[in-house]
Structure 1
């Protein structure tokens, strides 16, 4: 068994932002505990100034355990990254321990709050994961958070390439990702990866009236990862993840529902709209797939003008199956808000055969940035509770989790709070459609599936234009991505179903 103390965001400085007594309380607690080592995930200092680094060097020496320290965005202000190397240590590195390894990587961008693990550092991280692939426990540590966090206000400052990093960690079976940055303690399970966010150890800037805290990580011999959020008040919140075994599932019983999920048709008269591909998709849906429901996750048209809506309506009227269409940001540009309602109507809850489809409007006028809003989140939570006895599918345009090959700039500005609503309400499935690439992961008990662009040339998917075929069985959900031109498919995800669902 390995025990790790995870601290973050100390913001050591002589100014009023730093709470020295909180730092000493937590350090004393760590020193008295039976920890094997300590990880500090950045923002050691407040402004990256020399006097702060001198003070930080003194304060860090109080920790009487092996210590791994990662730079944060505050540390690299004022060219502080050179001082970090002088007073603290390397910006990137590897720490080996019994049966495991910590690979830490600098995610900062000088003088910006945003983060990035790109270019050379991404390739270096990939090489290190391959080098230590035989280790039982693989930990990656960085400053910036990987998935959206609740209680952070407007969702920003994630890694620009969070989707690529998340995909890399999942492919290399990393057990744990540790980070800080937003002063919010939080733990999520993403597939078999535990994402561990520490709150702030000794900064006055806490969220929602919270207090200072640190996380206690325990790696058990049987592969379990346990995280305790330990506050200076003595309160603790414990979460534990049991590794998924086996990782290959076979559906059993009769298929209960078949869904076709698509997005970003972007119907228009521009050359980027691939009309013949969409015609082929409509024909495939009607003649071969014959789904129970077709879901379009937005960006039906390229611009909200009448002739584009007329063409879109003609296309989708050909589909014989029932349809649920939610607007994307392109759909409500210009007169699109009114035109969407005129041609497709207000998206409404659909109940069928023990399934409940809950549409959520996230698009805003004239911007790709989406929002559900506090009122929308409350309504969503109420609906998930109202339909708890059925299989709940939440449908919206903007992606909740970052997707590969897309620059993540927080396209859903309240993604952290929305993700908490979805996972706390144990939504059985979430379907999104922003970003031009297909991707699927399970966060806690909720699979989240993003559709690629079905007929728009400007996409980010090496598989080409595509749509998703979703099949629900009594014990699991299976998702295939279908290439829109040739009809070839590949498995996007397969997840076991747990909960009260009984159609």
Structure 2
């Protein structure tokens, strides 16, 4: 069960501080209102990805962009979209923190920018997206908090890792294990979670279980955001690479290239 904690109280406090300005039409409607304009965006974008898969050459190189923590950096987000559109990517993965406070208005404004991408984008929920009723708005707009899709010989697993905003059941390692038990023809696995398991705000009781599953199933890349900076590490010295991409205001993101079973990545500055 989700409980109200320090981060969520801060979100409500920020909203209350903004109330005196509400007469200036700061929000068109209550920012926690669940009546979203856009719905089921994850399913919609995954359907676009699967349609591409049906025409994608069997031995072709796959390229996708990994972005995160776009928050309300709208100017930088527009520039990022423009840069990604100038490159040949199959799709875009978003590592969470689409918003600052989990407001409906923020989610919808962010989507209006991200929908300008030529390629479909798929998200995981970030801790800022959970504030107040943000998790409910996220689910109404995007879909399940944990989800996955496949593309050729690649599987992408999206895992809610926001332990402090939920409870001790997060992240759901049973779900992660089931999804990692992929058919033999899936040779590359990617896990996208906003917070890396060794971070101080991750669930400490599940960190080693998370890492053990990643090593057991030879995950190609563990993809994260949250810290607003780019890092590439192997924190458990087990051969599994944990990559974090920067926030949008740093004006860079990561391009991942997959050729057969070989995975490479580079920072793109825009």
- Which of the numbers 140, 150, 155 marks the counterpart of 2:191? 140
Following superposition of structure 1 onto structure 2, how do residues 224-303 of structure 1 map, counting pairs within 5 Å? 224-232=262-270
Corresponding residue of 1:195:
242
Following superposition of structure 1 onto structure 2, how do residues 25-44 of structure 1 map, counting pairs within 5 Å? 25-44=79-98
Corresponding residue of 1:129:
180
- Which of the numbers 57, 62, 69 marks the counterpart of 1:2? 62
State the SS of the aligned residue for 1:75. helix
Retained in 1: the 8 A contact 2:125–2:145?
Answer: yes
Is 1:168 aligned to residue 222 of structure 2? Answer: no
Is 1:58 aligned to residue 112 of structure 2? Answer: yes
Corresponding residue of 2:26:
none
- Which of the numbers 143, 166, 185 marks the counterpart of 2:230? 185
State the SS of the aligned residue for 1:28. helix
Query: CA–CA distance in 2 between the matches of 1:175 and 1:122?
Result: 18
Q: Against the structure 1 CA distance between its residues 33 and 175, is the aligned structure 2 distance closer, same or farther, given a 3 Å change threshold?
A: same
Query: CA–CA distance in 1 between the matches of 2:144 and 2:86?
Result: 27
Following superposition of structure 1 onto structure 2, how do residues 66-465 of structure 1 map, counting pairs within 5 Å? 66-109=120-163, 111=165, 117-118=170-171, 121-132=172-183, 134-147=185-198, 156-160=200-204, 161-189=206-234, 190-202=237-249, 211-221=250-260, 223-232=261-270
Corresponding residue of 2:50:
none
- TM-score, normalising length from structure 2? 0.71
Q: Against the structure 1 CA distance between its residues 173 and 200, is the aligned structure 2 distance closer, same or farther, given a 3 Å change threshold?
A: same
1:432-467, CA deviations, whole angstroms, 9 ceiling, x for partnerless residues? xxxxxxxxxxxxxxxxxxxxxxxxxxxxxxxxxxxx
Retained in 2: the 8 A contact 1:108–1:116?
Answer: no
Query: CA–CA distance in 1 between the matches of 2:107 and 2:219?
Result: 32
Retained in 1: the 8 A contact 2:173–2:209?
Answer: no
State the SS of the aligned residue for 1:131. coil
State the SS of the aligned residue for 2:163. coil
Query: CA–CA distance in 2 between the matches of 1:162 and 1:116?
Result: 12
Query: CA–CA distance in 1 between the matches of 2:119 and 2:137?
Result: 23
Query: CA–CA distance in 2 between the matches of 1:159 and 1:184?
Result: 21
Retained in 2: the 8 A contact 1:144–1:159?
Answer: no
Retained in 2: the 8 A contact 1:107–1:115?
Answer: no
Which structure has the highest strand share of the two? 1
Deviation at 1:130, TM superposition (A): 0.9
Which structure has the highest helix share of the two? 2
Q: Which runs of 5+ in 1 are unaligned?
A: 13-17, 149-155, 203-210, 233-503
Larger Rg: 1
Q: Against the structure 1 CA distance between its residues 115 and 196, is the aligned structure 2 distance closer, same or farther, given a 3 Å change threshold?
A: farther
Q: Against the structure 1 CA distance between its residues 214 and 115, is the aligned structure 2 distance closer, same or farther, given a 3 Å change threshold?
A: farther
1:113-164, CA deviations, whole angstroms, 9 ceiling, x for partnerless residues? x99744xx2101101111345411111111002346xxxxxxx323432221
Query: CA–CA distance in 1 between the matches of 2:71 and 2:97?
Result: 6
Runs of 4+ residues over 3 Å off in structure 1:
109-112, 114-118, 131-134, 189-192
Query: CA–CA distance in 2 between the matches of 1:110 and 1:162?
Result: 14
Corresponding residue of 1:336:
none
Query: CA–CA distance in 2 between the matches of 1:44 and 1:8?
Result: 8
Deviation at 1:110, TM superposition (A): 5.9
Retained in 2: the 8 A contact 1:9–1:199?
Answer: yes
Q: Which runs of 5+ in 2 are unaligned?
A: 1-60
Q: Against the structure 1 CA distance between its residues 74 and 164, is the aligned structure 2 distance closer, same or farther, given a 3 Å change threshold?
A: same
1:230-272, CA deviations, whole angstroms, 9 ceiling, x for partnerless residues? 233xxxxxxxxxxxxxxxxxxxxxxxxxxxxxxxxxxxxxxxx
Corresponding residue of 1:447:
none
Query: CA–CA distance in 2 between the matches of 1:167 and 1:178?
Result: 16
Corresponding residue of 1:23:
77
